[in-house]
Structure 1
Amino acid sequence: MAQTLYIPLLLIALCSISECVQRQYHFINEGRNQTEAQKYCREKYTDLATVDNMSDMNQLIKSVNNGGVENIWIGLQRTSVYKWHWSSGDPVLFLNWTSGEPAGSNECTVMHNGQWINEACSNTRFFICYNMSTGLVFVDQMMNWRDAQSYCRQNHTDLVSVRNQNENQQLEKFINDRNSSGAEVWIGLFRDSWQWSDQSNSSFRYWNTGEPNNVEESCAVIGKNPQRGWADVLCDGRKIPFVCHEDKLIVIQQNLSWSEALRYCRQNHVDLVSVQSVEMQYKVMNVVKLASTEAVWLGLRHSCALGIWFWVSGQTVCYQNWAPGNGTSEEDCEPTVRSGAVQSGGNQTWISRPETDRLNFICRNY
C-alpha cells in the first residue's frame, strides 16, 4: 500500500510553473544504418532522438506508431564510461554513500538510515515514489528496481530523487515514520554506461523487460511491442527506420551583446529563452554545456526604473536560480543596464552581467 506525504504548494500571483517544453520528433520511415541515420538527423534537424521523460516518450510513441515497423534507431549508445543518474532526469548534484560504497558493479541504490548503498537491481525492496502533485509516496510492496520505477511512472511521477542534504534528511524522516521494519528502500539513483548522440545528460531509460541484455550490443532501438520499449542491438550495418528530434532550445555560439542576442533570436527563431520552472532550468542545463563562453545570455532583463528583474517574454520572474549575490533589485545601472545569464559550468546558476558583455546565448524555437 502506498502512503503519501502531502506537500502544499505556494501559489504566487502572476506566476506559473506549468511550463513544459517538449522536443519535436520526426519519424523517418526509410532504412539507414545507425551512422547514416545520425548524419541525416544532424543535417536536417538536431540529432537522433533523445528522450528526457515520459512526456517526451509519449510524444515519440505517437510519432512512430503509424509506421508499423519493428526496430527503430534512437540516439542512445553504450560507452565505456559508467555514470550515476537519477531516474527522474534530475542532475546528480549530491551523493550520500555509506562508508565503503559504492562497491562492486551493482547499478541501483537503496537508502538505509539516511545513507545510500548500491545493490543489484534484481533485489526486491520497498521503494519511494515522488508525485508532482502530492509529494513523497512510500510503497510497501516488494519489487525489483525496474518494476519499482515502472510502478512510480505509471501511478505517480518517478522514483524519488535527492538533490541536497536537506532533502536527504527529509526523506530519511519520511521513511523512518513509515518503515517500521527498518528495511532498505529503493531510491531513483542508478548507473549505466549509455550516452545520447547529442551528448545530452538525460538519464531517462525505457528498456523492455530483460533489456539491455548483451554487452556487445551498443545501440538502442525502439521495439514493436505495444509499449514501444527499448532494446539493445548491434551497431552493425542493418538499415532500419529512425527518429530524429528537433530541439526547442538552441545555443547560438556567437559572441553578441544582450541586445544583439535578443534581436538575433527574434529574427531567426522566436525569442531569448525564459526559465519559468525547474523543468525548464534542466532543459537549459542540458544545452548550455555546448556554449563556448563561461556564461550564456537568457531573456532576463533588469529595469532600473522599477528596480525589478523580468523576462522579455513578458513573464514575471517567479522561479529563480540566482548565484549568491546576484539578482538583487538594487542593481548598479551605471554605466550600463544589467541583463541575466546562466553559467555554462559549475552549478549553472544565473548571474547578472552588463548588457554590453559579448556572450553566447540561448534562443527558443517554440
Structure 2
Amino acid sequence: MSSLPVFFFVAVCFLFTGGHAERGARQIAGDVFCPPGFQKLLGRNCYGHFTTPSTWTEAWTFCKSANTELLTIDDSGENQAVSQWITAKSTTDKAVWLSGNSMMGHWSWANGHGSWLALSFTSWAPGQPATPPGQQDGTFQCLVAENGQWRPASCRQSHAFVCKYEIDGLVSPDGMIAG
C-alpha cells in the first residue's frame, strides 16, 4: 500500500483539528471546507445544527464561544437552503433559534460581536408577528424558524439551534482564516 493516501488522510485530519470553527475552516485547491460538525450550504457559509434543547441565551452563548454566530438569515435562498437542510437532518423538532430578538424594541439580529443589525429579510409565518416587538409575559421575544417560517417565542423556551460561520472573504490565500 502506498504511503501517499495515508499521508493525505493524516494531513486532512490535521487541518480540521481544533476546538473552534475559526481554526477549522480551510481552503484547499480553491475550495473551502467547513470544520467538523459543520456543513457548507450555498457554497458560502458553514452551518452547525445542534439539537440539544437550549434557551435563546444558551444557544447564543454556545455559538459565540465557538467563534460563530447564532443563525441569521440574509435572503430567501439561504432561508430555503437552511430549512431544507434542517428538515433532512431532524426527525423530531424542526424548530431552531434564530439570532433575531426584540431586545432593542424592534426586531433585529444580535450578532456575536455585541452589535444589533436590522432584519433586511423576513419570512414570517402567516399572522406573525402577532404583537409588536417587545416583551410578552414579562420576557423579551426571540425568533424561532420552523419549515422556513419565522415566529416570535419567549426567549426562555428551549429549542435546537444553528450556529453560522461566515466564510465569505475570510479565507486568505494561504488557506488560513483571515482577521
Fold match by TM threshold 0.5: yes
Bigger proportion of residues as helix: 2
- 1:270·1:363 contact (CA, 8 Å) conserved in 2? yes
Match of 1:341 among 119, 122, 144: 144
1:278 maps to which residue? 76
Match of 1:353 in 2: 153
What is the aligned-residue identity percentage? 17
Q: Which amino acid aligns with 2:154?
A: P
**Map of 1:25 onto structure 2:** none
In 2, Cα distance between equivalents of 1:287 and 1:330: 30
**Alignment map for 1:30-41 (pairs within 5 Å):** 31=5
Contact 2:101-2:143 at 8 Å conserved across structures: yes
For residues 1-366 of structure 1, the aligned pairs below 5 Å read 31=5, 44=16, 62-63=30-31, 248-289=46-87, 290-291=89-90, 292-303=92-103, 306=105, 308-313=106-111, 314-328=116-130, 330-331=132-133, 333-343=136-146, 345=147, 348-366=148-166
Mapped to 2, the partners of 1:311 and 1:352 lie a distance apart of 13
SS in 2 for 1:315: strand
Q: Which has the larger radius of gyration?
A: 1
Q: Give 5+ residue unaligned stretches, structure 1.
A: 1-29, 46-58, 65-199, 205-244
Q: Is the 8 A contact 2:99 2:109 kept in 1?
A: yes
SS of 2:118's equivalent in the other structure is: coil
Q: Which residue of 1 aligns with 2:174?
A: none
CA distance in 2 between partners of 1:63 and 1:336 (Å): 43
How far off its partner does 1:350 sit?
0.9
Amino acid at match of 1:327: P
Q: Post-superposition shift, 1:287?
A: 3.0
Give the secondary structure class of the aligned counterpart of 1:287. helix
Contact between 1:296 and 1:361, CA under 8 Å: does it hold in 2? Answer: yes
Unaligned runs of 5+ in 2: 18-26, 33-38, 167-179
Structure 1 letter corresponding to 2:153: R
Residues 274 and 300, structure 1, Cα contact 8 Å, conserved in 2: yes
Aligned equivalent of 1:10: none
Which SS does the other structure have where 2:77 is aligned?
helix
- Is this contact kept in 2: 1:251–1:363, CA < 8 A? yes
Change (3 A) 1:60 1:323: farther
The SS at the match of 1:259 is helix
CA separation of 1:253 and 1:269: change in aligned 2, threshold 3 A? farther
Which letter maps to 1:326? Q
Bigger relative CO (Cα 8 Å, ≥ 6 apart) = 2
RMSD: 3.5
The answer to whether the 8 A contact 2:86-2:94 is kept is no
